[in-house]
Structure 1
């Protein structure tokens, strides 16, 4: 299959997704949304439709051609490899970027899907087969131990990463660990910016590595600036899984006499860490913006995205481009150099 054929197929997939989400009441979409929710209670209809919408917007011919133009994907010198992908399942289709990265370069995917996100990826894989049946020669899935592969891309927690490091040490690999996103707040942000920040915090219930789980604020910060604008996301507490986490974390912290800021649907806890529990955002004070930026620079290995006026725009953490890579590791470059 030629590169242009692969581009055309993914372009068609984007158009198919767009067509299907424009008809969410169709039998096919009702069944998909219901199955995804039954398989993973965090995958609400809104979350799944948002993830599909983002992929429909990413998979355009212009985006795909811009993406591949950054590399020398030579058809003449292509020696296809099998790339194993161990996928996470924290948010809908979180492993899909690795999936299409392997395929767009003309290589074969050996995917080990997360049990938490097997419905959606299986659905898109089937759509690819319908668009171009030749993809059946390039896509394999397994529930068993991975064998017969040339390289691996594995995503998991810090604990599972230690296992991955040991198990895959003899293969070229990308091993992804825990990362979280942070917002650097000055207090001069507009209400509109802060309301967009609520999207960065609460989209997908805060389960993604691109969700803001920590904020840096100046000493003497007026918390009304934060809470008044987070209120736009108050309805999140109506999700019972989220509400259970909120109630549990609040109870645990209060029993431990930990000081909290609380607005009845989210908790703020002063903490030097980045990986906060669901419904909790950590915060830390800084003396000057320069010192805050230096702190973030020093701790970059723990950070996925930084939201501020000088970094990623408010509300954009969940809208990465095809060429925005997790952990800053260029997946395509890695694959091409195997």
Structure 2
């Protein structure tokens, strides 16, 4: 493949192309290269992606695209790459098995494999299969060396040297068996938690609503569990969540809310709810849609120990001056390029394939 600088330049051009598609507006910019070939086509793919998966609302797709557009800058990419020694002498073929829970969820792996100088074999989820192949065509058009090095398949994966696979805890067991003879990164289900102390401002809690409701809470970086001190006043929490009240106007979300509420009421569980979100005391991390689990804590040190012990189940900890590597309120859905899923440095893994 060509030089790393060429590959970075290609992704910078892709970032510029994506900058035309934002939640505020979709508007063609005169200075973007190859719009005559790609702009209308990508607009069409957005429409198809929405029709194919009703969790992929226009806003959610555009939110994901905006996030990637702001990540794919020359400065961001060069800084990220500089943190890792990328000296790939013998390019490998790396298979990626992608999840489909949120739009473009596998893009970071795709970017990592190509930036590292390998070729990529992608098996997409049927829930998210429209956007990435189109963006791959754009990349191949702006960077000759990508041609022939990006393959999408719906068949059984064959002829690859390493694999990055993301799935549920159940599929991860299958992946671990199936890919045991190849260098691999296998990701399981994770959830994100927030630690509240009761001292949060109204603005903190409104920002937390972003962490809870973006992508309907379907992402591993979505907060699905709260830790609150004994005697916590949940009115403050609900007041913060109120900025997202319109989410109940989404039919699919509303159906899940009604269904889960009915199940809880029939089971006589104690619930607090506000018409679009339920909270339930529960030790689990993975809560159903429209529900957040919570647990009380009495001692901050004990909670830190528990979070450390459960680190394999947790993607992000949202907090304010509570614990190392915490994520600020409202920031879970804006990861930087070096915020690796499950804390595994993908670029380091890829640079050591030989």
Q: TM-score range by the shorter chain?
A: over 0.9
The answer to whether the 8 Å contact 1:84/1:153 transfers is yes
Q: In the superposition, relative to structure 1, how do residues 23 and 315 fare at CA in structure 2: closer, same or farther (>3 Å)?
A: closer
Which range moved further: 20-29 or 220-229? 20-29
* Among candidates 307, 315, 319, match of residue 304 of structure 1: 315
Q: CA deviation at 1:149?
A: 0.5
State the secondary structure of the residue aligned to 1:117.
Answer: coil
- For the pair 1:138 / 2:149, whether they are aligned, the reply is yes
**What is the match of residue 98 of structure 2?**
87
1:234 to 245, 248, 268: 245
CA distance in 2, matches of 1:196, 1:332: 31
Look up the match of 2:108: 97
2:26 alignment counterpart? 24
Q: What SS does the corresponding residue of 1:181 show, helix, strand or coil?
A: strand
Residue 54 (str. 1) matches residue 67 (str. 2): yes
Q: Which of 343, 347, 352 is 1:328 aligned to? A: 343
Q: Distance in 2 between matches of 1:186 and 1:283?
A: 13
Match of 2:33 in 1: none
SS at match of 2:296: strand
Match of residue 51, structure 2, among 24, 38, 41: 38
Q: Which residue of 1 aligns with 2:161?
A: 150
Q: Could you list the per-position Cα deviations for residues 223-256 of structure 1 after superposition, in whole angstroms to 9, with x for gaps in the alignment?
A: 1110111111100000000001000000011111
Query: What whole-Å deviation, never above 9, does each CA across 1:204-226 have from its counterpart, x for those lacking one?
Result: 00000000000000000011110
Root-mean-square deviation (CA, aligned residues, Å) is: 1.2
5+ residue gaps, structure 1? none
Q: How does 1:162-241 map to 2 (within 5 A)?
A: 162-241=173-252
Q: Distance in 2 between matches of 1:92 and 1:223?
A: 32
Question: What is the Cα deviation at residue 25 of structure 1?
Answer: 6.2
| Aligned residue number for residue 9 of structure 2 | 8
| Alpha-carbon distance in 2 for matches of 1:153, 1:314 | 30
Deviation, 1:133, is 3.4
State the Cα distance separating 1:20 from its structure 2 match. Answer: 4.1
CA distance, structure 2, for counterparts of residue 295 and residue 175 of structure 1: 24
CA deviation map 1:116-140 (0-9, x unaligned): 1111111211211221233122111
**How many angstroms apart in 2 are the aligned matches of 1:151 and 1:248?**
41
- Check whether the contact 2:340–2:346 (CA below 8 A) recurs between aligned residues: yes
In the alignment, is the contact (CA less than 8 A) between 1:186 and 1:289 conserved in 2? no
Asked if 1 retains the 8 angstrom alpha-carbon contact of 2:133 and 2:152, the reply is no
- How much has 1:29 moved relative to structure 2? 5.2
How many pairs align? Answer: 336
SS of the residue corresponding to residue 219 of structure 2 reads: coil
SS at match of 1:19: coil
- Residue 20 of structure 2 contacts residue 27 of structure 2 at CA under 8 Å; is this kept in 1? no
Name the SS for the 2:120 alignment partner. strand
Going from structure 1 to structure 2, the CA distance change for 1:183 and 1:267 (only over 3 Å counts) comes to same
Separation (CA, whole Å) in 2 of partners of 1:260 and 1:116: 32
Mapped partners of 2:25, 2:145: distance in 1: 28
Separation (CA, whole Å) in 1 of partners of 2:287 and 2:170: 16
TM-score by length of 1: 0.97
8 Å CA contact 2:21–2:27 kept in 1: the answer is no
Give the whole-Å Cα distance in 2 for the aligned partners of 1:47 and 1:228: 23
Quick check: 302-311 or 23-32, which moved more?
23-32
